[in-house]
Homo-oligomer: A and B are copies of this chain.
Protein backbone atom coordinates (compact mmCIF):
# COMPACT_ATOMS: atom_id res chain seq x y z
CA UNK A 1 0.00 0.00 0.00
CA UNK A 2 1.35 3.41 -0.88
CA UNK A 3 1.55 6.26 1.62
CA UNK A 4 -1.21 8.85 1.60
CA UNK A 5 -0.66 12.46 0.63
CA UNK A 6 -0.58 15.50 2.87
CA UNK A 7 -2.66 18.13 1.08
CA UNK A 8 -2.52 21.81 2.02
CA UNK A 9 -5.84 23.32 0.99
CA UNK A 10 -6.39 27.08 1.05
CA UNK A 11 -8.46 29.75 -0.57
CA UNK A 12 -10.20 33.03 0.24
CA UNK A 13 -13.43 32.99 2.24
CA UNK A 14 -16.35 32.67 -0.15
CA UNK A 15 -14.40 30.32 -2.43
CA UNK A 16 -16.58 27.45 -1.24
CA UNK A 17 -13.85 25.45 0.54
CA UNK A 18 -16.27 23.93 3.05
CA UNK A 19 -18.80 22.74 0.48
CA UNK A 20 -16.13 21.25 -1.78
CA UNK A 21 -14.36 19.46 1.09
CA UNK A 22 -17.68 18.19 2.45
CA UNK A 23 -18.46 16.61 -0.91
CA UNK A 24 -14.96 15.18 -1.32
CA UNK A 25 -14.99 13.62 2.16
CA UNK A 26 -18.45 12.16 1.59
CA UNK A 27 -17.28 10.52 -1.65
CA UNK A 28 -13.90 9.23 -0.54
CA UNK A 29 -13.37 6.85 2.37
CA UNK A 30 -9.60 7.25 1.98
CA UNK A 31 -9.50 11.02 2.43
CA UNK A 32 -9.49 12.54 5.92
CA UNK A 33 -9.53 16.04 7.30
CA UNK A 34 -6.70 17.07 9.61
CA UNK A 35 -7.83 18.03 13.11
CA UNK A 36 -6.24 21.10 14.70
CA UNK A 37 -5.01 21.34 18.27
CA UNK A 38 -5.93 24.28 20.50
CA UNK A 39 -5.46 25.51 24.06
CA UNK A 40 -8.87 27.14 24.17
CA UNK A 41 -11.53 25.44 26.30
CA UNK A 42 -13.92 23.05 24.57
CA UNK A 43 -17.35 24.54 23.86
CA UNK A 44 -20.50 22.59 24.65
CA UNK A 45 -20.84 19.68 22.23
CA UNK A 46 -17.22 19.77 21.04
CA UNK A 47 -15.35 16.48 21.31
CA UNK A 48 -11.62 16.02 21.80
CA UNK A 49 -10.15 14.72 18.53
CA UNK A 50 -13.20 15.70 16.48
CA UNK A 51 -13.50 19.51 16.39
CA UNK A 52 -10.06 19.97 17.97
CA UNK A 53 -7.47 18.16 20.01
CA UNK A 54 -7.79 20.09 23.28
CA UNK A 55 -4.43 20.60 24.95
CA UNK A 56 -3.23 22.53 27.97
CA UNK A 57 -0.87 25.41 27.32
CA UNK A 58 1.97 23.28 28.73
CA UNK A 59 1.17 20.35 26.47
CA UNK A 60 0.94 22.63 23.44
CA UNK A 61 4.28 24.32 24.19
CA UNK A 62 5.91 20.91 24.73
CA UNK A 63 4.70 19.74 21.30
CA UNK A 64 6.14 22.85 19.69
CA UNK A 65 9.40 22.19 21.53
CA UNK A 66 9.46 18.56 20.28
CA UNK A 67 8.84 19.70 16.67
CA UNK A 68 5.46 18.00 16.72
CA UNK A 69 3.48 20.98 15.44
CA UNK A 70 3.55 21.42 11.66
CA UNK A 71 2.43 25.00 12.18
CA UNK A 72 0.91 27.08 14.93
CA UNK A 73 -0.20 30.58 15.80
CA UNK A 74 -1.42 32.43 18.88
CA UNK A 75 -4.79 34.12 18.51
CA UNK A 76 -6.68 35.98 21.24
CA UNK A 77 -4.46 34.44 23.90
CA UNK A 78 -4.95 30.84 22.72
CA UNK A 79 -2.69 28.63 20.65
CA UNK A 80 -3.98 26.91 17.53
CA UNK A 81 -1.90 24.51 15.46
CA UNK A 82 -1.58 21.36 13.39
CA UNK A 83 -0.24 18.32 15.25
CA UNK A 84 2.10 16.21 13.09
CA UNK A 85 1.46 12.80 14.70
CA UNK A 86 -2.11 12.11 13.52
CA UNK A 87 -1.16 13.18 9.98
CA UNK A 88 1.84 10.84 10.08
CA UNK A 89 -0.35 7.98 11.30
CA UNK A 90 -3.15 8.51 8.78
CA UNK A 91 -0.87 8.91 5.76
CA UNK A 92 1.06 5.79 6.85
CA UNK A 93 -2.28 3.95 6.74
CA UNK A 94 -2.65 5.07 3.12
CA UNK A 95 -5.21 7.83 3.67
CA UNK A 96 -4.82 11.27 2.11
CA UNK A 97 -5.05 13.99 4.74
CA UNK A 98 -6.43 17.42 3.86
CA UNK A 99 -5.27 20.36 5.87
CA UNK A 100 -7.66 23.29 5.44
CA UNK A 101 -5.56 26.24 6.45
CA UNK A 102 -4.95 29.91 5.75
CA UNK A 103 -1.97 30.93 3.66
CA UNK A 104 0.43 31.81 6.50
CA UNK A 105 -0.07 28.41 8.13
CA UNK A 106 0.18 26.74 4.71
CA UNK A 107 3.58 28.33 4.17
CA UNK A 108 4.81 26.95 7.54
CA UNK A 109 3.61 23.46 6.65
CA UNK A 110 5.34 23.54 3.26
CA UNK A 111 8.65 24.33 4.92
CA UNK A 112 8.37 21.35 7.27
CA UNK A 113 6.80 18.98 4.74
CA UNK A 114 8.05 19.96 1.25
CA UNK A 115 6.50 16.73 -0.03
CA UNK A 116 2.99 18.08 0.62
CA UNK A 117 0.67 18.88 -2.28
CA UNK A 118 -0.81 22.37 -2.14
CA UNK A 119 -4.09 23.37 -3.72
CA UNK A 120 -5.52 26.87 -3.84
CA UNK A 121 -9.22 27.12 -4.55
CA UNK A 122 -10.73 30.28 -5.97
CA UNK A 123 -14.24 31.45 -6.81
CA UNK A 124 -14.81 32.02 -10.55
CA UNK A 125 -14.58 35.76 -9.85
CA UNK A 126 -14.59 38.20 -6.94
CA UNK A 127 -18.06 39.24 -8.04
CA UNK A 128 -19.20 35.64 -7.58
CA UNK A 129 -17.47 35.45 -4.21
CA UNK A 130 -19.26 38.61 -3.05
CA UNK A 131 -22.55 37.07 -4.16
CA UNK A 132 -21.79 33.90 -2.17
CA UNK A 133 -20.90 35.83 0.98
CA UNK A 134 -24.10 37.85 0.61
CA UNK A 135 -26.06 34.62 0.01
CA UNK A 136 -25.04 33.30 3.42
CA UNK A 137 -26.98 36.17 4.97
CA UNK A 138 -24.78 36.07 8.05
CA UNK A 139 -22.67 39.16 7.41
CA UNK A 140 -23.52 42.82 7.14
CA UNK A 141 -22.57 45.03 4.20
CA UNK A 142 -19.46 46.45 5.87
CA UNK A 143 -18.16 42.96 6.75
CA UNK A 144 -18.75 41.73 3.20
CA UNK A 145 -16.82 44.66 1.76
CA UNK A 146 -13.94 43.92 4.12
CA UNK A 147 -14.00 40.22 3.24
CA UNK A 148 -13.89 40.89 -0.48
CA UNK A 149 -10.92 43.19 0.06
CA UNK A 150 -9.26 40.51 2.21
CA UNK A 151 -9.90 37.90 -0.49
CA UNK A 152 -7.98 40.05 -2.95
CA UNK A 153 -5.01 39.95 -0.57
CA UNK A 154 -5.35 36.20 0.05
CA UNK A 155 -5.52 35.43 -3.67
CA UNK A 156 -2.18 37.15 -4.13
CA UNK A 157 -0.65 34.13 -2.33
CA UNK A 158 -1.91 31.71 -4.97
CA UNK A 159 1.45 31.63 -6.83
CA UNK A 160 3.06 29.75 -3.96
CA UNK A 161 0.60 26.88 -4.38
CA UNK A 162 1.13 23.89 -6.69
CA UNK A 163 -2.38 23.78 -8.14
CA UNK A 164 -5.28 26.15 -8.79
CA UNK A 165 -8.84 24.87 -8.73
CA UNK A 166 -11.65 27.16 -9.84
CA UNK A 167 -14.84 26.39 -7.95
CA UNK A 168 -17.27 26.99 -10.80
CA UNK A 169 -19.37 24.01 -9.74
CA UNK A 170 -18.82 21.76 -6.71
CA UNK A 171 -18.77 18.64 -8.92
CA UNK A 172 -16.12 20.07 -11.23
CA UNK A 173 -13.96 21.25 -8.33
CA UNK A 174 -14.16 17.83 -6.62
CA UNK A 175 -13.30 16.08 -9.91
CA UNK A 176 -10.26 18.27 -10.32
CA UNK A 177 -9.07 17.62 -6.76
CA UNK A 178 -9.48 13.88 -7.34
CA UNK A 179 -7.40 14.13 -10.53
CA UNK A 180 -4.68 16.04 -8.69
CA UNK A 181 -4.54 13.45 -5.88
CA UNK A 182 -4.43 10.56 -8.37
CA UNK A 183 -1.69 12.14 -10.49
CA UNK A 184 0.44 13.09 -7.50
CA UNK A 185 0.56 9.44 -6.44
CA UNK A 186 2.18 8.60 -9.78
CA UNK A 187 5.07 11.03 -9.26
CA UNK A 188 8.41 9.27 -9.38
CA UNK A 189 9.34 10.94 -6.11
CA UNK A 190 6.43 9.15 -4.41
CA UNK A 191 6.57 5.73 -6.08
CA UNK A 192 10.21 5.13 -6.92
CA UNK A 193 10.03 1.76 -5.15
CA UNK A 194 7.84 0.56 -8.02
CA UNK A 195 10.93 0.61 -10.22
CA UNK A 196 12.72 -1.68 -7.79
CA UNK A 197 9.74 -3.98 -7.97
CA UNK A 198 9.81 -4.12 -11.77
CA UNK A 199 13.51 -4.84 -11.85
CA UNK A 200 13.18 -7.55 -9.21
CA UNK A 201 10.18 -9.16 -10.88
CA UNK A 202 7.73 -8.28 -8.17
CA UNK A 203 4.62 -7.41 -10.11
CA UNK A 204 3.62 -4.29 -8.16
CA UNK A 205 0.66 -2.08 -8.76
CA UNK A 206 0.82 0.20 -5.78
CA UNK A 207 1.12 3.20 -8.10
Q: Which residues of chain A have a CB within 8 Å of any CB of chain B?
A: 120, 122-128, 152, 155, 158-159, 161-166, 168, 176, 179-180, 182-184, 186-188, 191-192, 194-195, 197-199, 201-205, 207
12 further interface pairs, Cβ-Cβ under 8 Å (given A163-B187, A164-B192, A165-B207): A125-B203, A128-B203, A155-B198, A155-B199, A163-B183, A163-B188, A164-B187, A166-B194, A166-B204, A168-B203, A176-B183, A182-B183
Known A183-B183, A184-B183: A205·B127 in contact at CB below 8 Å: no
Q: In the assembly, what is the distance between CA of A35 and CA of B152, in Å?
A: 45
On whether the beta carbons of B164 and A125 are closer than 8 Å, the reply is no
4 closest Cβ contacts across the A-B interface?
A183-B183, A124-B203, A179-B182, A125-B201
Contacts of A184 in B (CB 8 A): 183
Q: In the assembly, what is the distance between CA of A124 and CA of B202, in Å?
A: 8
Q: How many copies of this chain? A: 2
CB distance from A120 to the nearest CB of B (A): 7
Contacts of A179 in B (CB 8 A): 179, 182-183, 186
On whether the beta carbons of A195 and B158 are closer than 8 Å, the reply is yes
16 contacts between A and B (CB under 8 A): A126-B199, A155-B198, A159-B192, A162-B187, A163-B183, A164-B188, A164-B195, A164-B207, A165-B186, A165-B207, A166-B204, A179-B179, A179-B186, A180-B183, A182-B183, A183-B184
Contacts of A205 in B (CB 8 A): 124, 166, 168
